[in-house]
Amino acid sequence: MYIDPHQRFKQSMRAIQGALIMASLFHMIIGFFGFWRIFGRFLNPLAAVPLVTLTGLGFYALGFPQLAKCIEIGLPALLILVLVSQYFPHLIKFRGGIIERFAVLFTVAIVWGYAEVLTLVGAYDKTSPNTQFSCRTDRSGLISAAPWIRVPYPFQWGGPSFNAGDSFAMMASSLVAIIESTGTFIAASRYGSATPMPPSVLSRGIGWQGIGILLDGLFGTGSGTTASVENAGLLGLTRNGSRRVVQISALFMIFFSVLGKFGAVLASIPFPIVAALYCVLFAYVASAGLGFLQFCNLNSFRTKFIIGFSLFMGLSVPQYFNEYIVTSGRGPVHSGSTAFNNIFQVIFSSPATVAIMVAYFLDCTHSVGHSATRRDSGRHWWVKFRYFERDTRSEEFYSLPFNLNRFFPSF
């Protein structure tokens, strides 16, 4: 045990680094060795509905509950975003859809300025610490404490420490990240007007995500890499699926992370403003999942049962696990191993993970010998995209740069 808080922090970061490195190996094996490609080949629109829907709805706790912590800032942000993105484009005509594409920037700029005015006039000087933390734009000396330039480097907290229990718990988190990232990939491809992803491309994306987690472990970021659900919703909000936009955004992220003062300015945005954005962006991802219902036979009671049961269990089971740990201080699984308990707690606390486990199992086992099962699940709509070279549109959307597909034929 370390008495010095800084030493305890460094020891914790070294343990997280080691766990992330081991989880990255699990991630890359699942992706690059094609195991997730097997999963993708049996994934149908019917099973994709609860997966993608709860990938968005599973983050409901980050929406209005966080917005309401500073209602005088969060609620105007939500209303302005809805007005600017949904109503103004029909009232004010601009070329190129400028209003829709910059709705988030307009909303954040207006409400952030409004929050700055409230802070300067002393509206929160005599409020509770929780209110000040949620509403103020000058909290905790964030900007003054940030360095001007700080370039991260590998093993900045020291050499990583490896523990079997931590590694397996992080692998469970990695599995949840794989499943939720799959739902995000599917939603992003839908809003990007791309074809359904070939299973090989899906598996390749998971493998590269593992490389991102490996870099996280080397640089000691404290968290792993996963697909951004809100960015998939942003595709639906802005109707802009250009890869160049993603590349430019990545450069901006690197810029703001190295120049600490600029990053601290952005970090001073009150979280209720961000929560207002989440209310719309996560809703877009959830609606992308519901959009796959058009490929399913909704007159089939098998379809109705699988969708309804998986959605209900995807919401109910995590609620049970989360309530149990709040009331008793530990999860419902009581074994002699803390790591084993944490694995179950992590997996069954994810709505999307529970939903796809139920829907995927039922879709693959329920009435598989029936002649109409294939069409009821919408499998025939995706069959042409099971293999990369079966459709020229897949090559257009998912080809590797510099014609690298020649060297990775299995990808």
Q: What is the pLDDT of residues 314-328, one digit of tens each?
A: 999 999 999 999 888
Span 342-361, average pLDDT: 95
Residue pair 146/261 in contact by the 8 Å Cβ criterion: yes
Q: State the pLDDT at residue 339.
A: 86
Q: Is residue 367 part of a domain?
A: no
Q: Is residue 106 part of a domain?
A: yes
Residue 95 has pLDDT above 80, yes or no: no
Query: According to DSSP H, which parts of 96-163 are helical?
Result: 98-101, 103-120, 129-135, 142-145
pLDDT band at 374 (very low <50, low <70, confident <90, very high): confident
- Contacting residues for 132 by C-beta, under 8 A, at least 6 apart: 124, 139
pLDDT band at 89 (very low <50, low <70, confident <90, very high): confident
Residue 408 has pLDDT above 60, yes or no: no
- Contacting residues for 107 by C-beta, under 8 A, at least 6 apart: 77, 80, 81, 84, 273, 276, 277
> What is the C-alpha to C-alpha distance for residues 130 and 75, in angstroms, rounded to an integer?
18
Residue 77 has pLDDT above 90, yes or no: yes
> What is the C-alpha to C-alpha distance for residues 71 and 88, in angstroms, rounded to an integer?
24
Q: Is residue 158 part of a domain?
A: no
**Side-chain half-sphere exposure of 129, counting CA atoms within 13 A:** 1
Q: State the pLDDT at residue 410.
A: 45
In the chain, the amino acid numbered 411 is F
Residue 177 has pLDDT above 80, yes or no: yes
Span 280-299, average pLDDT: 94
The 10s digit of each residue's pLDDT in 201-234 is 899 999 999 999 999 999 988 888 889 899 999 9
Lowest mean pLDDT among 48-52, 74-78, 97-101, 105-109: 97-101
Q: Is residue 160 part of a domain?
A: no
Q: Please choose, from the candidates 201, 127, 153, 107, the residue with its C-alpha nearest in 3D space to the C-alpha of residue 393.
A: 201
Q: Is residue 315 part of a domain?
A: no
Lowest mean pLDDT among 64-78, 123-137, 234-248, 385-399: 385-399
Q: Is residue 33 part of a domain?
A: yes
The region that residue 80 occupies, defined by phi over 0 for left and psi between -120 and 50 for alpha, beta otherwise, is alpha
Chain-wide mean pLDDT for the chain?
A: 88
pLDDT band at 406 (very low <50, low <70, confident <90, very high): low
Q: Is residue 30 part of a domain?
A: yes
- pLDDT: is 78 or 222 the higher one? 78
Q: Is residue 230 part of a domain?
A: yes
Residue 402 has pLDDT above 60, yes or no: no
Q: State the pLDDT at residue 409.
A: 47
Query: According to DSSP H, which parts of 136-270 are helical?
Result: 142-145, 164-191, 199-219, 229-238, 243-258, 260-267
Query: Which structural domain range is residue 275 located in?
Result: 23-151+165-296
Q: State the pLDDT at residue 2.
A: 67
Q: Please choose, from the candidates 172, 105, 179, the residue with its C-alpha nearest in 3D space to the C-alpha of residue 344.
A: 172
Residue pair 243/397 in contact by the 8 Å Cβ criterion: no
Residue pair 24/186 in contact by the 8 Å Cβ criterion: no
Question: What percent of the chain is modeled with pLDDT above 70?
Answer: 92
pLDDT band at 179 (very low <50, low <70, confident <90, very high): very high
| Helix H or strand E encompassing 22 | helix 5-32
> What is the C-alpha to C-alpha distance for residues 385 and 392, in angstroms, rounded to an integer?
10
Count of domains for the chain: 1
> What is the C-alpha to C-alpha distance for residues 48 and 30, in angstroms, rounded to an integer?
19
Lowest mean pLDDT among 23-37, 66-80, 263-277: 263-277
